[in-house]
Chains A and B, each alone.
Chain A
């Protein structure tokens, strides 16, 4: 009798807890999903009055649309650089025996989690200034890549280590150059790893606020993260219609990418995160 009562209480407790958790996480998200379609947005619990006017208003704002394109450039550029450089480095480190290689990799990974953009914003700003990379998209891409590469190499080396070397050996017998081997044999074998790293790099850059905020001066180069912030801090009264619509458009690409990746490859931990 006593055990059934406590069992029942436990069950009730679990459901109450899960409902609270669900409410906490879902309510802001549901607001984000509906507010853009509401022609009279107030942050109350009224039923939205469906309209697409807000999207038209957003298209009229030149910075908003342009900033999304800027985000695409920054995220795409960084992802390409990170994937190509990390793949080459991971391949070399996986196939050639160098003493102290694993210690080097662990050291770099540790370093990259300790040395963050926040703790080094002054020298990064200085460095960009001296290298003439202030207000340059390339500067943002290079700095973001530098920060992401250690973990990317670490993740990809894991993938490379687990692929057999026999294909590469036979290709070599037929006279393929190392670059050809990488392109035609290694890349197809580790494609899931490359996709993981690319998606992870895109997600990182897409949401990053600090680095572009520090380095990019002209508003027409700023990515969505920065423009969004200026939209809700400038001019006192924030335009809820514009901002909620912009939020949705800005979030959609990463959400879709995430859904694509998790249905295609399954979402799991790789490399440095997995222990």
Chain B
């Protein structure tokens, strides 16, 4: 993170050190006669917004996380630095640890099994199909993906409604409430429904690169479906699988939309980290403590990304 923070500045520095317009008649002029100074001017507006609203907040989270900053009423008290107190408090706090565990369930259930698993299964089943069936299935999955989160949340609340919900009636005797009895499963299903399209499309594209002749050969050699997948398909699309898992795990880990459907309840049974931070920091006013949790989330994001990039890199070296 620190590296990325400093690199935009170095870029601008080198460009202003060059004489403005010096490149225009130089040995290797750029096509538009842009010159490094003008190029910098084109880049600056984006960089200002990125630094201000992406880099700075990340850095600020680190600082706020070691303070006891609280918001009481409307007056913001002056923060004092308390070192790692917030972190030791968090690690000894049942609510935080529960939240971490629920987030893990959410990511594995909704991203890995739900979105990636279901997305791959759909792409695999439809791989040889052209025409109507494929178009209809893909259209519905895609529609679920493009609907706004608030609408999808409302749809699932309505479907799982205690008194009138169709799905609730099918899954339970009337009067019992699926949403309240199985809050984690509810948000996992909800998020799978919203997110599967991305994985499905990615795997459809990836399966297009697997030569059908290789699958035919495997089939003739007597390989069953699982053996075909393991020996022919997965090795060829490993890069796609890793990319997909990285992106959807990151998105799911940081997803705030379960708040829309259960608000973390009942009794914190679906309180994933994103919801926990919101409750502690912004509705509870413990900005310092909330920032510490946020920073832990950033660290987990970073580790996730680095592990996957490492695996991708190793794959490229092998190739």
List the interface of chain A (C-beta within 8 A of B). 10, 14, 17-18, 21-22, 24-29, 31-32, 42-45, 81, 85-86, 88-89, 91-93, 95-101, 103-104, 107-108, 110-127, 129, 142-143, 145-147, 149-150, 153, 165-166, 168-169, 171-172, 178, 181-182, 186, 203, 206-210, 214, 224-226, 228-229, 232-233, 238, 240, 243-244, 247, 250-251, 254-255, 258, 267-269, 273, 275
**Neighbouring A residues of B91 by C-beta, 8 Å:** none
In the complex, are the beta carbons of A178 and B33 less than 8 A apart? yes
Contact B42 A118, beta carbon cutoff 8 Å: no
How long is the Cα–Cα vector from A45 to B169 in the complex, in angstroms?
11
Within 8 A of A (CB), among B100-151: 118, 121-122, 125-126, 133, 136-137, 140-144, 146-151
- Chain B 28-56: CB-based contact to A (< 8 A → 1; otherwise 0): 10111111101110110111011011111
Q: By the criterion CB–CB under 8 Å, are A96 and B34 in contact?
A: yes
Whether B305 sits at the interface, judged by CB under 8 Å, is yes
A275 contacts B239, C-beta separation under 8 Å: yes
The prevalent SS among residues of A at the interface is: helix
15 additional contacts (CB under 8 A) given A25-B141, A240-B158: A14-B125, A17-B121, A32-B151, A98-B39, A103-B7, A104-B7, A120-B58, A123-B60, A127-B60, A149-B46, A168-B31, A169-B32, A209-B256, A225-B150, A247-B154
- A89-B43 contact given A123-B60, A165-B31, A224-B148, CB 8 Å threshold: yes
Nearest B residue (CB) for A42: B164
Contact check, B148 vs A207: say whether CB atoms are below 8 A apart: yes
Q: Which residues of B contact A147 (CB under 8 A)?
A: 53-54
What is the distance, in angstroms, from A1's C-beta to the closest C-beta of chain B?
16
Residues of B within 8 A of A166 (CB): 31
In the bound assembly, the distance between CA atoms of A149 and B45 in angstroms comes to: 10
B290 interface contact, C-beta 8 A: yes
Is B227 an interface position by the 8 A CB rule?
Answer: no
**Residue B98, interface by CB 8 Å:** no
Are B291 and A122 interface neighbours, CB within 8 A? yes
Interface pair B150/A121, CB less than 8 Å apart: no
Q: CB distance B61 to A123 under 8 Å?
A: yes
Closest CB of chain B to A261's CB: distance in Å? 10
For B166, what are the chain A residues with a Cβ–Cβ distance below 8 Å? 27, 31, 43-45
7 contacts between A and B (CB under 8 A): A85-B46, A95-B31, A118-B297, A122-B277, A124-B53, A228-B148, A228-B151
> Tally of A-B residue pairs with Cβ under 8 A?
300
The answer for the CA separation of A144 and B159 in the assembled complex, in Å, is: 31
B interface secondary structure, majority:
helix
Flag the segment in B8-16, B176-184, B210-218, B228-236 that touches A. Answer: B8-16
Using A25-B144, A122-B294, A275-B239 as known contacts, say yes or no to A112 and B54 having CB atoms under 8 A apart.
yes
Give me the 4 closest cross-chain CB pairs, A-B, nearest first: A146-B53, A165-B31, A92-B42, A123-B60
Best-buried of B136, B140, B298 by chain A (most CB within 10 Å): B140
CB closest chain-B residue, reference A124: B57
Of the candidates B40, B140, B282, the one whose C-beta lies within 8 Å of that of A125 is B282
User: How far in angstroms is the closest Cβ of chain A from B17?
Assistant: 12
Q: A31 near B305 (CB under 8 angstroms)?
A: no
Partner of A22, one of B8, B137, B154: B137
Tell which of A91, A98, A251 touches B151, judged by Cβ atoms closer than 8 Å: A251
Bound Cα distance A97, B39 (Å):
10
Known: A43-B161, A43-B165. A22 touches B140 (CB 8 A): yes
> B201 within 8 Å of A by Cβ?
yes
Is B294 within 8 A of A255, CB to CB?
A: no
Q: A96-B30, A168-B31, A168-B32 are known contacts. Are A85 and B133 too (CB-CB below 8 A)?
A: no
Answer yes or no: B187 CB below 8 A from chain A CBs. no
In the complex the two chains form, is B281's CB within 8 Å of A122's CB? yes
Assembled-state Cα–Cα distance A29/B144 (Å):
7
Q: B43, A118: Cβ atoms under 8 Å?
A: no
In the bound complex, residues from chain A placing their C-beta under 8 Å from that of B305 are 110, 113-114
